Structure 1
Amino acid sequence: MRWAAGLWLAAVLLVIGHQVSFWRAGQLDTDVLALLPRSEQSPGVLQAAQVLSDSAQRQIVVLLGSPDEQSAQRAARVFAAEWRAGDAALAPAAPGASPAQAVQALQPWRDRLLTPAQRLRLERASTAELVQSALTALHQPGGSGRLSDWLSDPLSLWSSWWSARTGASPVRPQDGWLMFEADGLHWVVLSGETRGSAFSLHDGAMHGDAIRAAEAAARVETPGLKVLAAGVPLHAEAAAAQASREVNLIGLGSLGAIVLLVWCAFRSVRPIALVALTLVVGCMTALSVTVLVFGKVHLLTLVFGASLVGVAEDYGIHYFASRQRQPGVAPFELIRGLMPALLLALCTSVIAYLVLGLAPFPGLRQMAVFSATGLTAAFLTAACWVPWLDRGRVAPSRFAAAVGGSLERWPLLRGRGWWALAVAVLFSFVGVARLAANDDIRQLQSSPQVLVDSQREVGRLLRLPSPAQFFLVQGASEQQVLEREEALKAVLDRLPAGTLAGYQAVSDWVPSIARQQADALLTARVEAQVLAGVGSVLGEQLERPAFAPDPLTLQRWLDRPEATATRALWLGVGTEGYSSMVLLHGLDGRAAAQLMQTATATLPGVRWIDRTAEVSGLMARYRISMSVLLAVGFVLVLGLLWHRHGRTAWRAWLPTLLACLFSVGMLGWIGEGFQLFNVLALVLLLGIGVDYGIFLLESHDDGSAWLAIVLGAASTLLSFGLLGLSNTPALRAFGLTMLFGVAFVWFLSPLFRPHADHG
């Protein structure tokens, strides 16, 4: 034991050294996407999703709305100055390309850049009608003074094409600001970009505070100003702040409850200090091992790990409960006597956590490694150090005597008790039948509702495309991708009115060479006829100037600073060939998404991607597969118990099975949805609940064992009950399931202990 204690001390010293470097480096992760399983889609889909994620990670957008245009601009001037001064994490504003530069860059290829409506008009309208249109444009105010410009575009195709390109966004430059009108207000658009990742917690970012301070200053200038803010950095910051609060609430709350319970039971500081030591070493070791395995640790792992406090204290409490009942037994002899039950309890709990880690969610695997490691470290601390450090007596207390003695008064399940149990089972089955599955990925979302509402409003007002629903277009070459985009857009243009507000595609700016050649021939033929007709009216010989002889290439446009929007859509070449994205505006509802999928299902190289539905589908499948694994876990635990206890093993096993059923039934009766995290809680309940039955079988109605069970169950109820207060729906579902389950297994386990005549 001396060697074991020394080796464990050396290991803990290494952990302490790692903890110092960890907290200095700030390796905490708040990215919700890091919790999700890897997509079952192809690498092309993963690349597209990553590009969309990266493009939005560092952007913050603020809208300032006022009934008066000048007051909105005055407020924007004050807001921008205060925001930049108050948020040191914002990168300097980069100068953007002006619209005039983009017009000039594409001007040489004007003759081959047409919208579908323009193309249809040139093909179907009569020459006389087009000549009249050209004459009208020529005689507009200022038209006669720009005859050379008119000759290059007699039908005003170029201005119409640009209107179509910029029509997806309502924003227009005005007096040096980006502005638009909507909902009876004049809006100014301000944007900022963070220096580092949105999910970095060590850059001193306080985006929300800076925006609130800037808003207060702007309201002094413009009372009644409406402010909307959106962006991934704001959600990441809110998640970090919330997780910090929940870690403190759950961890400190459950630790305080444990301290109070241990004090009531043992009336001594020494048991409190040594139980706390096992918890601290367990949590530190769990954190270090998790970081070494995964490279970083997610904040939700810490929130979940804070509930570990309600489980890991069991080993120390069992030791001191036995020490209180057997004061004359030497500490090492006492721990050796407890070792079979403690080891069996540890094994069942670790099995449950490892089953939890079989789900392909990186976040859940972190939680499993954290919890299994923490329990093991707490066990080793209790086994190796507590007997060395425990050098005094543990005096009896009235509280301990009352709790330990209550086991004698706890009824055994016999006779009519079985009928009552059958009624409870039937009641639970009715509750289970009322359950409805809820696999929505938004169960992982925990941002404040005001921020969620603001994000939606910004998206609606700016007509932003959805980053979770888009088309992936793939082909063997650039030209094939562009041609397939054009085929896709033709289908989208034929959809019923109101289905879609618009779309963004690479081919909007750079059509395929085949399309360019066809449109160049079309404009050359029609405009020559129009100029001949206008020339006959004017009595002049009119000739259209020449345009670029070569087609516009994709790379030539992407190299331009004005092509920022196009670069975000072009994915380039990968393992599956060339690919691009087509983003959609104004898509709302599942019916519209289903229409997108069915309308384009037969287009070659075009794939409808719905990330929200995909991940929700993954969660549904994993909910089912984890339910199967839960059943396998029950079988494995029963086998482990059978190996130790033979035919009485069912007495430690059945209470947990019934507690799982009763817990799920309660969820149905109170109207909660059933999701993956409910199943994961049941997996954990298997590991925790069986421990109670194990200690009751091992102790043979020993009051000290029952005292330790009561203290452990109470602390577990408190820790997971506090988890039920989390603002993250998934963690709340986990906490509620554990709250019901632990309460039921605590009540049921003594009912199934062996009768006196059974030994």
Structure 2
Amino acid sequence: MKTLFSNWPNRLTVLWLLLLIITAVAVGQAWWSKTLHIQTNIFALLPSQQQDPVLDRARAHVNQALNQKVFVVLDAKDPEKLQQATALLRQRMQQHQELWHPLKPQADLNQLGKVYFEHRAGLINAEDIASIQQQDIDALIERSLLQVLSPGMPITGQLLQQDPLLLFPRYMMGLQQQHAAQAIDMQDGFATLEDQQGLSRLLILDLAQSPYNVRYQGQSSAWIAETRQQLQQLGVNSAWTGTLIFSTAGTNSAKDEISTIGLGSSLGVLLLVWFGFRSIRPMLTEFIAVSTGSLLAFAVTHYIFGEIHIMTLVFGASLIGVCVDFSFYFMALQSQQPKRTGFAVLKPILPSLFIGLMTTLVAYVFLSFTPFPGFKQIAVFSMMGLAAAWVSSILLLPRLPALNAAPAIRRLAWIGQARLWMQRQHTVRYGMIVVILITTASSLWWLKSNDDVHNLQTMDPTLQQQDQYIRQRFAQQQGQEYLLLRADSAEQLQQLEQTLLQKLQQLQQDGALQSFQAIAQVIPSVAQQQANIKALQALPDATLMTYADALQLDVATLRQWQQQLSQQRPLSLADFSQHPLAFLQVSPTERLILLQGIHLLPALEQLQSEQVSLIRPVAELSELFYEHRIQAQYLLGYALLALGLALSLIYGIRAIVSLMLPVCMALLSTFAIQAWMGVEINLFSIMAAFLIMGLGVDYAIFYRHGHDHPQVVGMALFLCMMSTLFGFGLLSLSHTYAIHCFGLTVLLGVIFSFVYATLLTKADPRYTALTADSNQINPDE
């Protein structure tokens, strides 16, 4: 026991192990009690728009309504095949209720017709109500006679008793004409279209679970693949789209990329470690360090945020891997002093290792200021994980025997030689600095940005084609652009919607808008219905007699009909809870109007007021990406200033240029190269710049402290750079544009940071790490 606590390394090791054990037990208990929450929704990484709680509620309402659905279009050669395909889908959904809710018709026409008829008194089209208000009985007589004589609409005696002016049939005909442009027919409650392209039917499937549940994605994907195959055997083609489809494709793409890139990264690092130390032991020690760091980071991050995102685990665990810089540097230095104890080798370089850790943490501290929840999580996870991995490394590595790094140091001695040569060539060094600064800074004028939120997902061309086909065929409301109407009462809300409909119809005629969908198109306001009923009640007896004579009706029937009008209740949305457009009612005082095909945005923006808001979620999120990218750029500048100030307090003001110039030049060169390549930067590019800043300053600090062993530092930092390239640079091969930009920025930034730190950082002779009798490698041997 005395030996266990005999010195500070042993005491710290025991305390560290106790902390790790307690943390592991706590995480294990939380996992066993199922209180751990792993978030998989990619959009949970994004900040919530909290300018207006009403707008937030409306966005959440629409997202819930559309994200929980899959839209399917069946294309068949004849109605019989279409019926068979519909029955097949219905049967398969019934058999897998853990995946889907039972298939429901979009509209039960018989039921809808009954509801309309029960509240027919106030349902009058615009042409008829104008004639009634003007008491133009001749126009009413003419339209009714045309209906009676029309073979396409049989008029029964019972209908003439219940609706002698035949107002209801004409109103229903007006509703049907809304779909006449596309010849959409409701067959068996499903939207069915038959034209020159063929026979198509739209089915809307309701999900039984979240579309972002990874396990559910796999199960539903297998079900969809099997269903498509069975439909194909029937001779029916199908197109599928929806949030589930795209999120599943994104998850599968990420898994494939992680497998491919992860395998390449692991093999690359394995070969790199073998090249550097003739052993694979560093892989094991790094695994221990990263694992302990990830454990503590997971526990702290989950405690702070109440959940942890899957992307935080992926990115965070990778970022913790930068602790390999510290271990490579130590093991290379230890290989030159095999006779000394590990802690004796560690003691003189511990300050530089600690300062390197602090400079890296500074970058993540500033990254945590971003309002993006995902970046906050990654920053917290990385800070805790990196610090914990660093502690594990300095407590573990000195206890192990030295490895043989001499062959690698000899082969990479040219790095140290190039550094020493450049340090003597003052004119060449200063000239290179000036040329690089002028060239890269001027190139930033051509740097472009792309803040489109779609960069977060891999857009499969086949899925895009199917999505576009469904939109074109049935004009589905998946664009998620809409107007939010709000008022103090339900009556005012209905009046507001009626006023907006007139303006939208005019915009549609002017070509500013393709189409729109609103509740008022199918359900007039209660006030309008009541006004229509009063207009009917106000018809004089003489007018009724004239109408009765023209259609050969008993005038008593008309009088009885007129007296019963007050007994009929106006139609309300409560009567249409199963209507396809019922979800447009957010609350009694909030309602939506879906917009499709906005061709002239300013015309729609002019409709906005205190009661009307135009919501374009995708455009707004892209705008949010733009705003926070700009903010992140300022944070990057502030982080560089703060880092320079901290280094000046440690090393003095004269050391700032030597330590900060390489990383600043590396950032300028990185973005200049991307400008030349035509790469458009985004928020993830700036996020990568924070990583470059931390690593680049570490390289400079190690070179500053390594005047007595430049070949060792050069070899160690070369291995560090290559391991970072294998860990992050391969992300540049990703098909997801945001991840590609992140990987490419790290790839270029780390290379430039290493090159500039090697050639430009001045060494300080006051720092020594090797003893006079150390067995140093002669590069000329």
Q: Decide: shared fold, TM above 0.5.
A: yes
Aligned to 1:407: 416
Aligned to 1:453: 465
Moved more, 324-333 or 663-672: 324-333
Matched, 1:713 2:721: yes
Distance of 2:631 and 2:418 partners within structure 1: 42
Aligned to 1:655: 662
Distance of 1:756 and 1:342 partners within structure 2: 16
Aligned to 1:565: 581
The structure-2 alpha-carbon separation of the partners of 1:106 and 1:320, relative to structure 1 and needing over 3 Å to count, comes to same
Aligned to 1:365: 376
The structure-2 alpha-carbon separation of the partners of 1:526 and 1:255, relative to structure 1 and needing over 3 Å to count, comes to farther
* Letter aligned with residue 382 of structure 1: S
Asked if 2 retains the 8 angstrom alpha-carbon contact of 1:403 and 1:707, the reply is yes
Distance of 2:734 and 2:542 partners within structure 1: 72
Aligned to 2:570: 552
* Letter aligned with residue 160 of structure 2: W
Distance of 1:130 and 1:73 partners within structure 2: 41
Question: What pairs up with 1:285-684 in 2 under 5 angstroms?
Answer: 285-305=296-316, 307-308=318-319, 310-388=321-399, 390=400, 392-404=401-413, 406-410=415-419, 411-412=422-423, 414-466=426-478, 468-497=480-509, 498-525=511-538, 531-542=544-555, 543-544=557-558, 545=561, 546-549=564-567, 551-552=569-570, 554=572, 557-558=573-574, 561-563=577-579, 565-566=581-582, 568-572=583-587, 578-584=589-595, 586-588=596-598, 591-598=599-606, 600-601=607-608, 603=609, 605-646=611-652, 647-684=654-691
Q: Which whole-Å deviations, capped at 9, do the CAs of 1:239-284 have from their partners, x for residues lacking one? A: 2222333333444433332222121111123333212221232234
Q: Which whole-Å deviations, capped at 9, do the CAs of 1:313-346 have from their partners, x for residues lacking one? A: 2222122112112212211222232221111111
Q: Which whole-Å deviations, capped at 9, do the CAs of 1:691-726 have from their partners, x for residues lacking one? A: 100111122252322222111111112222122122
Asked if 2 retains the 8 angstrom alpha-carbon contact of 1:73 and 1:188, the reply is no
Aligned to 2:754: 746
Distance of 1:755 and 1:319 partners within structure 2: 18
Distance of 2:318 and 2:502 partners within structure 1: 55
Distance of 1:64 and 1:527 partners within structure 2: 54
Asked if 2 retains the 8 angstrom alpha-carbon contact of 1:62 and 1:189, the reply is yes
Q: Which whole-Å deviations, capped at 9, do the CAs of 1:394-450 have from their partners, x for residues lacking one? A: 224312332255212332362134333333333323431112232222222224232
Asked if 1 retains the 8 angstrom alpha-carbon contact of 2:704 and 2:764, the reply is no
Aligned to 1:42: 52
Asked if 2 retains the 8 angstrom alpha-carbon contact of 1:356 and 1:684, the reply is no
- By how many angstroms is 1:634 displaced? 0.6
Distance of 1:592 and 1:170 partners within structure 2: 26
Distance of 2:707 and 2:539 partners within structure 1: 100
Asked if 2 retains the 8 angstrom alpha-carbon contact of 1:34 and 1:363, the reply is yes
- By how many angstroms is 1:630 displaced? 1.0
Distance of 2:211 and 2:687 partners within structure 1: 29
* Letter aligned with residue 490 of structure 1: Q
Distance of 1:124 and 1:669 partners within structure 2: 72
SS at 2:449 equivalent: coil
Asked if 2 retains the 8 angstrom alpha-carbon contact of 1:516 and 1:551, the reply is no
Distance of 2:266 and 2:649 partners within structure 1: 35
Matched, 1:217 2:233: no
Asked if 2 retains the 8 angstrom alpha-carbon contact of 1:63 and 1:458, the reply is yes
* Letter aligned with residue 466 of structure 2: S
Aligned to 2:4: none
Distance of 1:424 and 1:22 partners within structure 2: 53
Q: Which whole-Å deviations, capped at 9, do the CAs of 1:549-586 have from their partners, x for residues lacking one? A: 365374xx4265434632x122226xxxx3221212x3
Distance of 2:468 and 2:152 partners within structure 1: 43
Moved more, 727-736 or 404-413: 404-413
- By how many angstroms is 1:290 displaced? 2.9
* Letter aligned with residue 89 of structure 1: L
Distance of 2:378 and 2:397 partners within structure 1: 27
Asked if 1 retains the 8 angstrom alpha-carbon contact of 2:705 and 2:764, the reply is no
SS at 1:41 equivalent: coil
TM-score (norm 2): 0.88
- By how many angstroms is 1:529 displaced? 7.4
* Letter aligned with residue 384 of structure 2: T
- By how many angstroms is 1:156 displaced? 4.6
SS at 2:101 equivalent: coil
- By how many angstroms is 1:123 displaced? 5.5
Of 116, 120, 127 in structure 2, the residue corresponding to residue 110 of structure 1 is 120
* Letter aligned with residue 698 of structure 1: H
TM-score (norm 1): 0.90
Aligned to 1:737: 745
Question: What pairs up with 1:174-323 in 2 under 5 angstroms?
Answer: 174=187, 178-181=191-194, 184-203=197-216, 205-222=218-235, 225-305=236-316, 307-308=318-319, 310-323=321-334
Distance of 1:570 and 1:176 partners within structure 2: 22
Aligned to 2:779: none
Aligned to 1:695: 702
- By how many angstroms is 1:161 displaced? 3.4
The structure-2 alpha-carbon separation of the partners of 1:274 and 1:126, relative to structure 1 and needing over 3 Å to count, comes to same
* Letter aligned with residue 142 of structure 2: Q
- How big is the alpha-carbon RMSD for the aligned residues of Structure 1 and Structure 2? 3.0
- By how many angstroms is 1:92 displaced? 3.5
**Which structure has the larger Rg over C-alpha atoms?**
2
The structure-2 alpha-carbon separation of the partners of 1:258 and 1:283, relative to structure 1 and needing over 3 Å to count, comes to farther
The structure-2 alpha-carbon separation of the partners of 1:201 and 1:445, relative to structure 1 and needing over 3 Å to count, comes to closer
SS at 1:268 equivalent: coil
Question: What pairs up with 1:27-38 in 2 under 5 angstroms?
Answer: 27-38=37-48
Moved more, 137-146 or 744-753: 137-146
Moved more, 14-23 or 95-104: 14-23
Distance of 2:540 and 2:208 partners within structure 1: 51
Distance of 2:135 and 2:254 partners within structure 1: 64
Asked if 2 retains the 8 angstrom alpha-carbon contact of 1:109 and 1:547, the reply is no
Asked if 2 retains the 8 angstrom alpha-carbon contact of 1:249 and 1:722, the reply is no
Aligned to 2:21: 13
SS at 2:254 equivalent: helix
SS at 2:119 equivalent: helix
Distance of 1:470 and 1:540 partners within structure 2: 48
SS at 1:308 equivalent: helix
Asked if 1 retains the 8 angstrom alpha-carbon contact of 2:93 and 2:100, the reply is no
Aligned to 2:6: none
Asked if 2 retains the 8 angstrom alpha-carbon contact of 1:279 and 1:313, the reply is no
Asked if 2 retains the 8 angstrom alpha-carbon contact of 1:170 and 1:462, the reply is no
Where has structure 1 moved over 6 Å in runs of 4 or more? 21-24, 526-530, 755-759
* Percentage of matched positions with identical amino acids: 25
SS at 1:649 equivalent: helix
Asked if 1 retains the 8 angstrom alpha-carbon contact of 2:217 and 2:248, the reply is no
The structure-2 alpha-carbon separation of the partners of 1:664 and 1:125, relative to structure 1 and needing over 3 Å to count, comes to farther
SS at 2:353 equivalent: helix
